[in-house]
Structure 1
Amino acid sequence: MLEAHFAVPMLEAILVAINTRLLPEEILYILEHSGCKALIVDTELAEPLARIEDRLPKDLKTITVTDRTLSPVHPVPLKKSEGDYEAALACSDGGGIGFSLEDENHTLAINYTSGTTGRPKGVMYTHRGAALNAFGTPIYSGINRDSVYLWTVPMFHCNGWVFPYSVTLVGGTHVCLRKFRPELVFDLVEKEGVTDLCGAPTVMLGICQYAAESGRRFPHCVRANTAGAPPSPTLLENCRKVGIEVKHLYGLTETYGPHTTCRMEPEWETLPLHEQALLLARQGVANANALHLRVVDSDMNDVPRDGETLGDVCMRGNNVMKGYFNNPEATEEAFRGGWFHSGDLGVMHPDGYIELRDRKKDIIISGGENISTIEVEKTVVRHPAVLECAVIAIPDDKWGEVPKAFVTLKPGATATVEEIVTHCRSHIAHFKCPKQVEFGELPKTATGKVQKFVLREREWAGREKRVN
């Protein structure tokens, strides 16, 4: 994957990194919608692809990769393959690829993200955007030629937040991690001298839980950029015990990953831990490569910097997408008024830091993964016993947010929680499936529209914010 991040753009082709946790139908949709012509497949992860191989586009060429360092190796055979990746490299003359680019705004990558329609949208990154983000990342992250970066963020997430290019740009070292395991993280920090990593709070939580159980600590301070949910006071304290310096980032697939930074300021260090956590839980200020960050009202006027007035969080800059692939309507809607609308509601504090309070879009962010509530609802109602369904995000200590389904059954029909969850797991990726199911009537308006806000108010009662 790291090699592909360089080779594919150098060919002036477009990189489409696919989430390995998706189900076959979701993968097929992305392949067809993006018009992929070649597919590089890790045979250890090829099982979903094998199930749809006969339905793949006829002109799609498949190249397989088998990691021989695995023990034991469990490759999933594919009936159609143009050859083996490593064998092709072995036949190369080592001459490299001649690279020239006439237009810096040529699309470099398309990253698919869950949308409110339930179908993922293809977010287009440009060569210019990726390059400028690579230049800007060292400013907020602190990486340099002495950095040893551990890959705990999947490269299918916003092209790894553009860190493939940033780490290489500064002359740092990449340490690739095939699968996140806390004990392996400790081993690599000790063996390779890892200095930096990124990940959702669930990654940090896993590291801290393992440290508490094993008694292990990092031999030196490791800088960690976390996004997807604000770090809690408990997590901050535990990270410090392990030897992790946490920096909170915020962004979307549409902003090449991180758009803002919230890091520990010197004047905060003397504050009680709880107060530090409240400050660090804010989404922060725009990164160096972002033009502006605004919180606006319905007329596109900036809201007061009072930490109370709610508005739309809008972005503009070199780290904002080119648009949605083959979806001009969604692109126009996202950029109304000349600014990218994140779909998040927030406040602007007097010190210029923003803080999210709610989400306009029906998107759940669970462990850093986007989940469309509409997609989950459509899946639930396919169950023969279900009449209707509403899905919302509920707070979760581990994942930040998880889906909860409120289900009304057809008259005379019966179903259990386990049956609903099992049904969902057979149709959508497991991380998208409801973690809780509640049966009963749904609250509605006089016109019959489901009042999701009533469900949210009940589930989030006692919490200041409606995002976690």
Structure 2
Amino acid sequence: MPLRFAEPATDAYHFPLTIRHLLDGVVTRSGEQQILYRDESSYSYRAFVQRLSRLADMLASAGATPGMTVAVMDWDSHRYLEAYFAIPMMGAVLQTVNVRLPPPQIAYTLQHARAEILLVHRDFFPIVEAILPALPDVKAVIAILDGADADLPPWAIGEYETLSAAASPDYPFEDFDENAVATTFYTTGTTGNPKGVCFTHRQLVLHTLAAAGPFGASRAAPCLGVGDVYMPLTPMFHVHAWGVPYVATMLGLKQVYPGRYEPAMICRLRAEHQVTYSHCVPTILEMVLQAARETGADLSGWRMTIGGSALSKALCAAARNVGMDVGAGYGMSETAPMVLMAARRDPDLAGDEDATIHTLTASGVPLSLVEVRIVDDAMRDLPHDGETRGELVIRTPWLTPCYTGDRAASETLWRGGWLHTQDIATIDPQGQVRIRDRLKDVIKTGGEWIDSIQLEELVATADGIAEASVVAVPDTKWGERPLAVVVPKPGAVPTLATLNQPVDAAIAEGAITRYARLERFEIVDQLPRTSVGKIDKKQLRARFGEAPPELCRQAG
């Protein structure tokens, strides 16, 4: 029997899943709710919606048309939130520029995306001035002076707030195909130029709806919902700030944007506005905890989702010790990003702190509409027993369909019809996913595989260690061996014996293979980071991977 289809009325409205419709009803529900920028400005949702029209009108006057790429270089701000909505709503494509990339790579991403209009904060004027000659497609630059009493650069057509004030508050946003591209940005790859990914209106709306439920997981830990006060601590250039600004705006929440990250300002904004929910990478959480120790700020009741890198048990415990509620989330640039969220699975574990932390530091359970598998090299399914390791592959409606302009990489990404994460994971019988390592970071030694994430978490608990990372280095006998690179606490002098104490305990318990025992380590003042705050293991391998044994610290 053939499929049956509805016969809609002649005048039935064909509702497109476009970003504009995330605002439906928000003024009615939350018209006087506030959106704030640092301690410098605030306005209501009613004014926010008018400012979206003003931004679209100003961009149209600058030559923006449907399909054109409009790039933003700004700190986390109300202006960036306006760009998240107004630019896609007018049919243009929002490019969120990673301002932490080296200038040549920033120029590459702008030219590759064919950006024609730039919105640029004054802090990035020197970069733009240097790279503009290499950007022949750029037809207009709008300067963001951010309250400074300064002259406009000669290459800017005007200043953001001045142009906004003169623009129309009644821009005629119209419906269009929900499959139109809404956003684009570039991944921070470890080799070659950054890769471009893009997302459609339909994909971002579905991601927003799934993430709002709360975050697609029952008893999500932590979660965001009606009544919360939201402050992002993930750069808005990075994967839509994990999509949460869209969720917060759809729900009509009070929002607080911190601008450039300054620990004292973040703690003050949190206290003054009773911020209840944020999200960030582990480095930012560590920064906030340190600021609180120095200032005496009260962090109790602050809920945070931690992603980008693994949430260690030690960091989770440190946050919980000051009254925070933290839990891991998982996603990638290619996944828009959220696909997994930590969830409290068993109320019988209440009161068992070790078990609670073990659950909260897992990568989580899938959001609604997310299907996950772990597979071997032949794409065969592996058991969900919590022990068997395989590559995590994903399907969900909001995954990027390709790397822009890179057919070969796109085919690799989507081999077999599933998006390949290149993460090694386990899935337990209750569906909880735990990322064990990156394919490129797993250490193969003596016929055994060592998870670098598990080993560096153990090393980080050793006496006198502030931070640790573990990478594979070549070894003539075993193929590869683990090398620990550690940052000691002030006054501490790490030794191989102290680093191996927690490792030996884990070996004795059968939690890790005996091949994980360290034979070498290095001490550094700080671990190198990527532009989004992850530990840069590529740099560590380049620095220490080829070092002769006599130059590394070894067992005596």
**TM more than 0.5:** yes
Q: TM-score range by the shorter chain?
A: 0.7 to 0.9
> Map of 1:297-446 to 2, 5 A cutoff?
297-361=376-440, 395=456, 434=539, 438=543, 441=546
Q: Report what 1:368 is aligned to.
A: none
In structure 1, distance between residues paired with 2:391 and 2:239: 22
* Shift, 1:40, TM fit: 0.7
Amino acid at match of 2:166: C
- Contact conserved, 2:214 with 2:225, CA < 8 A, in 1? no
Check the 8 A contact 2:118/2:138 in 1, yes or no: no
Match of 1:176 in 2: 257
Partner of 2:206: 132
Distance in 1, Cα, partners of 2:206 & 2:102: 33
TM (normalized to structure 1)?
0.75
Structure 2 SS opposite 1:29 = helix
Deviation at 1:148, TM superposition (A): 1.2
Which deviates further from its counterpart, 295-304 or 180-189? 180-189
Aligned counterpart in structure 2 of residue 216 of structure 1, from 273, 294, 297: 297
How far 1:277 moved relative to its partner?
2.5
Q: 1:199 aligns with which of 271, 276, 280?
A: 280
- Measure how far apart 1:165 and its partner are: 1.2
Once the two structures are TM-superposed, the CA of residue 437 in structure 1 deviates from its matched residue by: 6.6
CA distance change for structure 1 residues 163 and 65 in 2, over 3 Å: closer, same or farther?
same
CA drift of 1:404 comes to: 9.8
The amino acid of 2:129's aligned partner reads A
1:133·1:162 contact (CA, 8 Å) conserved in 2? Answer: yes
Q: Is the 8 A contact 2:95 2:183 kept in 1?
A: yes
Give the Cα separation in 1 of the matches to 2:376 and 2:532: 37
Deviations 1:274-299 (A, max 9, x none): 33323322212111142x01111122
The change in CA–CA distance for 1:158 and 1:264 in structure 2 (over 3 A counts) is same
The offset of 1:86, in angstroms, is 1.2
Partners of 1:124 and 1:321 within 8 A in 2: yes
Q: Greater CA radius of gyration, 1 or 2?
A: 2
Partner of 1:465: none
- Identity across the alignment (%): 30
CA separation of 1:308 and 1:362: change in aligned 2, threshold 3 A: closer
1:414 is aligned to none
The C-alpha deviation readout for 1:156-183, integer Å capped at 9, x for no partner, is: 1111111221111111122101122332
The answer as to whether partners of 1:211 and 1:242 remain within 8 angstroms in 2 is no
Whole-angstrom distance in 2 between the partners of 1:58 and 1:88: 22
Are 1:116 and 1:362, in contact at CA under 8 Å, matched by a contact in 2?
A: no
Choose which of 238, 241, 244 in structure 2 pairs with 1:163: 244
Determine the structure 2 residue equivalent to 1:267: 347
Is the Cα contact below 8 Å between 2:316 and 2:327 reproduced in 1? no
**Which residue number corresponds to residue 511 of structure 2?**
none
Cα distance in structure 1, aligned partners of 2:86 and 2:263 = 31
Residues 337, 176 of structure 1: alpha-carbon distance in 2 compared, 3 angstrom cutoff = same
Q: Does the residue aligned with 1:89 lie in a helix, a strand or coil?
A: helix
C-alpha displacement of 1:400: 7.3
Counterpart residue type for residue 134 of structure 1 = T
Change beyond 3 A, Cα 1:436–1:296: closer
In the superposition, relative to structure 1, how do residues 97 and 201 fare at CA in structure 2: closer, same or farther (>3 Å)? Answer: farther
Task: Tell me the distance in 2 between the aligned counterparts of 1:344 and 1:440.
Answer: 22
SS of the counterpart of 2:305? strand
Say yes or no: does 1:87 pair with 2:162.
yes
- Who is 1:389 aligned against? none
Partner of 2:47: none
Contact in 1 for aligned 2:316/2:361 (Cα 8 Å) = no
Q: Which residue of structure 2 aligns with residue 250 of structure 1?
A: 330
Give the counterpart of 1:146 among 227, 250, 254.
227
> CA 1:7–1:430 in 2, change beyond 3 Å: closer, same or farther?
closer
Question: CA, structure 1 residues 439+338, in 2 after alignment: closer, same or farther (shift >3 Å)?
Answer: closer
Give 1:380's aligned residue.
Answer: none
Is the partner of 1:110 in helix, strand or coil? strand
Cα distance, 1:268 vs. partner? 6.3
Residue in structure 2 matched with residue 37 of structure 1 by the alignment: 116
Tell me which moved more, 268-277 or 296-305: 268-277
Equivalent pairs counted in the alignment come to: 393
Structure 2: 5+ residue stretches without partners? 1-79, 216-222, 443-451, 461-465, 475-523
Partner of 1:233: 313
Q: Distance in 2 between matches of 1:268 and 1:243?
A: 21
Distance of 1:177 and 1:346 partners within structure 2? 34
Letter in 2 for 1:252: M
> Is residue 3 of structure 1 aligned with residue 82 of structure 2?
yes
1:231 Cα deviation (Å)? 2.4
Question: What is the CA–CA distance in structure 2 between the aligned matches of 1:430 and 1:335, rounded to whole Å?
Answer: 24
SS of 1:32's equivalent in the other structure is: helix
From the superposition, tell whether residues 402 and 97 of structure 1 become closer, same or farther in structure 2 (CA, over 3 Å): farther
- Distance in 1 separating the partners of 2:81 and 2:425: 35
Counterparts in 2 of 1:154 and 1:76: CA distance versus 1, 3 Å:
farther
Which residue among 361, 370, 391 is the counterpart of 1:281?
361
Per the alignment, residue 91 of structure 2 pairs with: 12
- Most deviating of 318-327 and 121-130: 318-327
- Would the aligned equivalents of 1:13 and 1:108 in 2 still touch at CA under 8 Å? yes
**How far, CA to CA, are the matches of 1:190 and 1:206 in structure 2?**
16
